[in-house]
Chain A
Amino acid sequence: MTDVVLKVKDLAVSFMSELGLVRAVDGVDFELRRGETLALVGESGCGKSVTAHSILRLVEHAGGRIERGSVWFNGADLLKMPAEALRRVRGNRIAMIFQEPMTALNPVFTVGEQVAEVIREHLGRKRKEARAQAIDLFARVGIPDPSQRVDHYPHQLSGGMKQRVMIAMALACSPLVLIADEPTTALDVTVQAQILDLIASLQREQGMAVLLITHDLGVVAEVGDRVSVMYCGRMVEHGTAHEVFSEPLHPYTHGLISSIPSLTAPRGQLRAIPGGVPDPLDFPSGCRFHPRCFLKTRLETAAESGGSRICSEVSPSLREWRPSHPAACHFAEHMPPAAKEPAP
């Protein structure tokens, strides 16, 4: 398939903590196609940010180690690329936006200087040209009064404006892939919508692919073309946004969707997935979701014995239960549709 711009295969990343080895990501595969938005969702700590940071090998600066796997981009494996070649890809062909616009900008330089720095580094422009280009970019990302704003320091801008600056920086070299690591988590809801709209419209203009990392399913429903769900460092489900929302095949996805509070439903206790996120030092054996899985308990009460055994012993691999909608569950055919039947 020529459509695929970025292909991640069997990625595994670990961190050496004082308590022991943490396998934050353990065998993750996904592919990103030209012009689409792939949403990577999951709870906090499930390894989605680590996955994003591994693509550009940024985890290595945070003490992480890439154990195995490959990231194919433009016919080359980013994980085996020499540092200098990788540096040319960073910010140029693959760009990244961070979660906290407050801290992702250097406080001692003006925002214009920071955008111009990227342009000078990758496109080899002169100082003046780069500044002019930065002003253009600011106008494109909807910053009012761009020729004034370039000379402002980050602390003079609001959170939404800073995130726009970050986007301007990321777009400076018209990248093929934009990795957005929870770009709207730190922002107000109204600003959130503006930023998502901005990313979507720029994506249409430039035809770039966006890898959107989020735990906010509302955001996914709004802009995601396809969805990949992660749990405890593993992929549990892939599919189009529509498929995943209407007919989730993994009990974890089901739990996530039914824990969204509804405005129309009668008031009552909020639904949550029972149990907590497992200790990354000591993941459960077999399927990592089995201690919290309602499907497993349901099958057990229905006396289909043997079913529960396999969950705690054999780790399920991704299987195409429906065409191009794989899920990693042994009993995906028993899944109830999300909207009709709530999880107990």
Chain B
Amino acid sequence: MTDLKEITAALEERAAVQGPRRILHPRRRLHQAALWIADTVILASAAATLIASSAPWVRIDQGSVEFPNFRTWIRADAAWLAALWVYLLVRILLGSRNRRGWMKRILIRGLAGLFLLFLVLTHLLPDRRPPERVSVFAEGFSIQAPIPFDPDHTDPEAFRAPPSRRHLLGTDTQGRDLLSRLIHGGRVSLLVAFCSTLIAVSLGLLFGAVCGFFGGLVDLLLMRVLEIFLCFPQLFLLILVFAYLPGSLLAVVAMIGLVAWTSIARLVRAEVLRIKNHDFVLAARALGCPSFMVLIRHVLPLSVGPTLVAASFCFAGAMISEASLSFLGLGLPQGTPTWGRILFDGKGALDYAPWISLFPGLLLFLAIASIHFVGERLRDALDPRARVIAPEIMPSVSISKGRIR
């Protein structure tokens, strides 16, 4: 072990050169990076229409100003942006630093306002994307989107083109821009993962809480039902179902949610069994709290932490399930750009155009790994006993102006 003095001296030296800086544990740095990746994926997916579209943001043609990009918007786009604002809001509220800063307050108000705006937009915008009327290469001055290609747009000049300045990640066998497809495909992956996690967590909370809290015959029977679910390997069950079922977004979400709830239910049950033996639960009963309220107010709030952590792992698992199904050509309807499907499309061209499978594979790996790390960070944050940083090795000193405070 390095001497404490040495570390502090090194820190001081560093502070003198670089100014005050927070020094993170390597593990925390990894978690931070994972959070940034997750942020980027969510941001890009939510704003897909804005980022990857052939319709320019602004066009000035013979004195008239147009916003063609906005004209291509549909309800789903506005809903995605609203979801993004909610995500940012949660991120800011849970951020550990600058908890009561004025910036935060303004940001929250601004975000709340934008959220309402997008909510209104969802009602005004059309359901389906209107047919393209304007040509991409119109005359006059225009500001293009950063990736000026639609996910389904075929570029006649570039089939299987390797990454270049025009197509940053290259094009696929049909000449479609890969980056644009990946950005739009992220939406499907995230949507499926989020909704099926929501289903899994709701079912898991309900079953787990009822089993753990009331026990007895109900517990016995419900746990046997759960064990029957556990008997089937999840992926094979999904493949079997979609071999017969016509694929649709709703069916995929529902099925992934239905096979994933068991692990959450078992966790919640164990948590409830642990918590219900605490004195304060008995005290709540002694003070005349109705059974149901004891469960809702005194037992479940304490199991939120572990459930949240399990939900984050469930999210990553659902993403893998969806990608596997898409890779096998099952589940979602043909033609939907999802990461698994793009991977599948590039499989045949692996010899001469490896980037078509490489990038979606890499993206899947990064996204799933980072969600795992975010879950791990969540667990560290929610469980104060699981300290990774031994205080004597990493002193929690904040250094400013070369002095330790």
On A, residues with C-beta under 8 Å from B are 53, 56, 58, 61-62, 87-92, 95-96, 98-100, 103-109, 117-118, 121-122, 166, 169-170
Q: Mark B272-307, 1 if CB is under 8 A from A, else 0.
A: 000000111011111111100100011001100000
| Given contacts A87-B288, A87-B290, A95-B287, A106 and B298 within 8 Å (CB-CB) | yes
A334 smallest CB distance to B (angstroms): 43
* Chain A hits for B280, CB < 8 A: 103-107
Specify which of A88, A103, A169 is in contact with B278 (CB 8 Å cutoff): A103
* Chain B hits for A99, CB < 8 A: 279
| CB-based contact A95/B279 at 8 Å | no
Q: What is the count of residue pairs linking A and B with beta-carbon distances less than 8 angstroms?
A: 69
Bound-state Cα–Cα, A260 to B125, Å: 84
B282 smallest CB distance to A (angstroms): 6
* Chain A hits for B287, CB < 8 A: 90-91, 95-96, 117-118, 121, 169-170
Bound-state Cα–Cα, A92 to B290, Å: 13
* Chain B hits for A53, CB < 8 A: 282
Within 8 A of A (CB), among B118-167: none
| CB-based contact A89/B283 at 8 Å | no
**Looking at B282, B289, B301, which has the most chain A CB atoms within 10 Å of its CB?**
B282
| CB-based contact A58/B282 at 8 Å | yes
| CB-based contact B285/A61 at 8 Å | yes
Specify which of B288, B301, B302 is in contact with A89 (CB 8 Å cutoff): B288
| Given contacts A108-B301, A108-B302, A117-B297, A61 and B284 within 8 Å (CB-CB) | no
| Given contacts A98-B279, A103-B279, A104-B280, A56 and B302 within 8 Å (CB-CB) | no
* Chain A hits for B289, CB < 8 A: 87, 91, 117, 121
What are 14 pairs between A and B in contact, CB < 8 Å?
A56-B286, A61-B285, A62-B282, A87-B288, A91-B289, A92-B288, A98-B283, A103-B280, A104-B279, A104-B282, A106-B280, A118-B288, A121-B290, A169-B287
* Chain A hits for B293, CB < 8 A: 121
Bound-state Cα–Cα, A109 to B282, Å: 16
Residue of B nearest to A170 (CB): B287
Residue of A nearest to B284 (CB): A106
Specify which of A95, A105, A107, A117 is in contact with B286 (CB 8 Å cutoff): A95
19 further contact pairs, Cβ within 8 A, besides A89-B288, A104-B279, A121-B288: A53-B282, A56-B286, A58-B282, A90-B285, A91-B286, A91-B287, A91-B288, A92-B288, A98-B279, A99-B279, A103-B279, A104-B280, A104-B283, A105-B280, A105-B283, A108-B302, A117-B289, A121-B293, A169-B283
* Chain B hits for A117, CB < 8 A: 287, 289, 297
Bound-state Cα–Cα, A90 to B285, Å: 8
* Chain B hits for A92, CB < 8 A: 288
* Chain B hits for A58, CB < 8 A: 282, 285-286
| Given contacts A106-B298, A108-B301, A100 and B286 within 8 Å (CB-CB) | no
* Chain A hits for B302, CB < 8 A: 106-108
| CB-based contact A98/B285 at 8 Å | no
* Chain B hits for A169, CB < 8 A: 283, 287
Bound-state Cα–Cα, A108 to B275, Å: 12
Bound-state Cα–Cα, A247 to B220, Å: 55
On B, residues with C-beta under 8 Å from A are 278-280, 282-290, 293, 297-298, 301-302
Bound-state Cα–Cα, A117 to B283, Å: 12
A34 smallest CB distance to B (angstroms): 21
Bound-state Cα–Cα, A62 to B298, Å: 16
B contact face: mostly helix, strand, loop, or mixed: helix
Residue of A nearest to B277 (CB): A62
Residue of A nearest to B286 (CB): A96
Bound-state Cα–Cα, A104 to B279, Å: 5
Residue of A nearest to B278 (CB): A103
| CB-based contact B288/A96 at 8 Å | no
B220 smallest CB distance to A (angstroms): 16
Residue of B nearest to A106 (CB): B280
* Chain A hits for B290, CB < 8 A: 87, 121
* Chain B hits for A108, CB < 8 A: 301-302
B278 smallest CB distance to A (angstroms): 6
* Chain A hits for B279, CB < 8 A: 98-100, 103-104
**Looking at A53, A89, A92, A104, which has the most chain B CB atoms within 10 Å of its CB?**
A104
A116 smallest CB distance to B (angstroms): 12
Bound-state Cα–Cα, A139 to B129, Å: 65
Residue of B nearest to A92 (CB): B288
Residue of B nearest to A57 (CB): B285
Bound-state Cα–Cα, A62 to B289, Å: 16
Specify which of B283, B285, B288, B301 is in contact with A166 (CB 8 Å cutoff): B283
Bound-state Cα–Cα, A108 to B283, Å: 15
Bound-state Cα–Cα, A90 to B283, Å: 10
Specify which of A62, A105, A106, A122 is in contact with B288 (CB 8 Å cutoff): A122
| CB-based contact A90/B286 at 8 Å | yes
| CB-based contact A88/B288 at 8 Å | yes
* Chain B hits for A56, CB < 8 A: 286
* Chain B hits for A90, CB < 8 A: 285-288
* Chain A hits for B301, CB < 8 A: 106, 108-109
Bound-state Cα–Cα, A95 to B287, Å: 6
Bound-state Cα–Cα, A323 to B286, Å: 36
Bound-state Cα–Cα, A234 to B301, Å: 40
* Chain A hits for B298, CB < 8 A: 106
**Looking at B283, B285, B301, which has the most chain A CB atoms within 10 Å of its CB?**
B283
A124 smallest CB distance to B (angstroms): 12
Bound-state Cα–Cα, A56 to B283, Å: 11
A54 smallest CB distance to B (angstroms): 12
Bound-state Cα–Cα, A56 to B288, Å: 10
Bound-state Cα–Cα, A104 to B282, Å: 8
**Looking at B284, B286, B288, which has the most chain A CB atoms within 10 Å of its CB?**
B286
* Chain B hits for A100, CB < 8 A: 279
Bound-state Cα–Cα, A13 to B119, Å: 60
Nearest 8 CB-CB pairings of A with B:
A91-B287, A91-B288, A90-B288, A103-B279, A96-B286, A104-B279, A104-B283, A106-B280
Bound-state Cα–Cα, A108 to B279, Å: 14
| CB-based contact B288/A61 at 8 Å | no
* Chain B hits for A122, CB < 8 A: 288
Residue of B nearest to A181 (CB): B286
Residue of A nearest to B289 (CB): A121
* Chain B hits for A61, CB < 8 A: 282, 285
A224 smallest CB distance to B (angstroms): 22
